[in-house]
Amino acid sequence: MPLDSFLNTFAGNPLDRASDKRTDAAWLAEKLGSAENLGVAMWNGQPLVEPAEAGNDGKGGVQIAYLPAKLLGELAEGDERLLFLGLWQETAIFALDFEGPANPTDGGPLQGLGAFEDLRSIALRLPANEAAIVATAKAMFEWRRKHPYCAACGQKSEAKDGGWKRQCPACGTEHFPRTDPVVIMLPYHGERCMLGRQERWPKGMFSALAGFLEPGESIEEACARELNEEAGLHAVKVRYHSTQPWPYPSSLMIGLIAEVEDEEGAPDQTELSEIRWFTRDEARDLIAGKLEGTFAPQRLAIAHQLIKAWVEEDS
């Protein structure tokens, strides 16, 4: 059950993660070998999906192409590419990671069982709870790919606890998934909010400001520092909006709305190439796609939701 009425894309995973079962190798093997349980296939970060009813963006929908868990177990050839995602009621859900240039649906073992699609491209076409499930799998497999060796002694580590831990067989050090906290904030002064753009973004795109939370720093302090570093703004009040798991590769976006003391900011020309202040009406048109020559991030991004929340405060 959602903890709040508002959920960002990739939040709201409906599975019981059943972390108490992860260390039970016999239980995992039994569930993996049963035809009653299900699996999610991923290939280079892309989920296996199949057509469904219209998605959240009004386009043709897709849904996870669930496979028998037993099939994934047979294709896995060990624990290294497997992940126990959790339980849907009594059904165990696993994920299997395929890597390399060969598409498993193109003459491979999954031919005719669905199609692999880029998650960002289909996020709004998936049911929201399924987008959260595959985002979890993507983030976990990205962590596994980037951390195959022990950070203590350099030896190859091994997958443990249903894929949620890696352990070094040489020195015994345990390694756990990494999540990078990022503050993302919408600054405002009076009846105008400020958005910035980076030179590498598509022409006309403006978004909220963001930066990584540093060690020894509170969320509010990180927000104030980033606003000052990137745009020369001074925060006077910071309030929380929501968070978003962001599997690119493994961040937690912490959404904030920050009041600043004036509108004297300027882009640092390193992180930001341009800043622009928007009235509420302009920001409303921006997220509706009605501001000519300028556009906001798409609806799946928390930046879009921050702008929308600020716009609606006067409603």
Residue 3 vs residue 150, higher pLDDT: 150
Name the band, by pLDDT with cuts 50, 70 and 90, for residue 2.
low
- Main-chain dihedrals φ then ψ at residue 55, nearest 5 degrees: -85, -175
Question: For 215-224, what is each residue's pLDDT tens digit?
Answer: 999 999 999 9
Work out the percent of the chain whose per-residue pLDDT is above 70.
96
Mapping DSSP to helix (H, G, I), strand (E, B) and coil, where does residue 270 land? coil
Query: Roughly what angle, to the nearest 10 degrees, separates helices 69-76 and 25-32?
Result: 110
Region 280-296 average pLDDT: 96
Position 14 scores a pLDDT of 96
Beta strand pairing call for 165-167 and 158-160? antiparallel
Position 6 scores a pLDDT of 77
Question: For 19-36, what is each residue's pLDDT tens digit?
Answer: 999 999 999 999 999 989
Q: Give exposure, 204-227, as e/b (b: 16+ Cβ within 10 Å).
A: eebbbbbbebeeeeeebebbbbbb
Alpha carbon of 222 to those of 17, 133, 186, 263: distances in Å? 31, 29, 13, 20
Residue 4 vs residue 197, higher pLDDT: 197
Alpha carbon of 175 to those of 20, 25, 136, 146, 269: distances in Å? 18, 18, 18, 12, 38
Residue 4 has pLDDT above 90, yes or no: no
Element (H, E) at 255: strand 251-260
Mapping DSSP to helix (H, G, I), strand (E, B) and coil, where does residue 294 land? coil
Work out the percent of the chain whose per-residue pLDDT is above 90.
93
- Main-chain dihedrals φ then ψ at residue 280, nearest 5 degrees: -60, -40
Question: For 228-283, what is each residue's pLDDT tens digit?
Answer: 999 999 999 999 999 999 999 999 999 999 999 999 999 999 999 999 999 999 99
Position 53 scores a pLDDT of 79
Instruction: Tell me the whole-structure pTM to 2 decimals.
Output: 0.93
Region 178-188 average pLDDT: 97
Name the band, by pLDDT with cuts 50, 70 and 90, for residue 60.
confident
Residue that is written with structure tokens 């892309």 in the block: 46
Residue 92 has pLDDT above 50, yes or no: yes
Name the band, by pLDDT with cuts 50, 70 and 90, for residue 5.
low
Identify the CA nearest to 260 among candidates 232, 302, 294.
Answer: 232
